[in-house]
A and B are shown apart, each in its own frame.
Chain A
Amino acid sequence: MSAVAPVDREHGLYLLGQMVLVRRFEEKCVELYSASKIRGFMHLSIGEEAVAVGTMQALEPDDAIVATYREHGHALVRGVSAGAIMAEMYGKVEGCSRGRGGSMHLFDAATHFYGGNAIVGGGLPLAVGLALADKLTGRERVTACFFGDGAVAEGEFHECMNLAALWNLPVLFCCENNLYAMGTAIERYESETDLALKAASYEMTAWSVDGMDVLAVEQAAHKAATEVRGGGRPCFLELRTYRFRAHSMYDPDLYRTKEEIERFKQHDPIPALIEQLRAAALLTDEDIERLERDAAERIEAAIEFAEAGTLEPVEDLERFVYYEPAHAEGPTE
Chain B
Amino acid sequence: MNRSAYATPNPAIATPDTGPVVALRNVAVGFDGPPVLEDVSFSVAPAETRILLGPAGVGKSVLLKLIIGLLRPLAGSVELFGEEISQMPEEKLFPLRARAGMVFQEGALFDSLTVRDNVAYQLIQERVPDEEIDARVHEALRFVGLEETFALYPSSLSGGMRRRVAIARALIHQPELILYDSPTGGLDPVTSETIIELIVKQRDVRATPSLLVTHRLQDAFTLCTHHFDSEEDRMVPLPEGQTNRNTTFLMLNEGRLIFDGSLDELVHSKDPFVREFLE
Do A and B assemble together? no
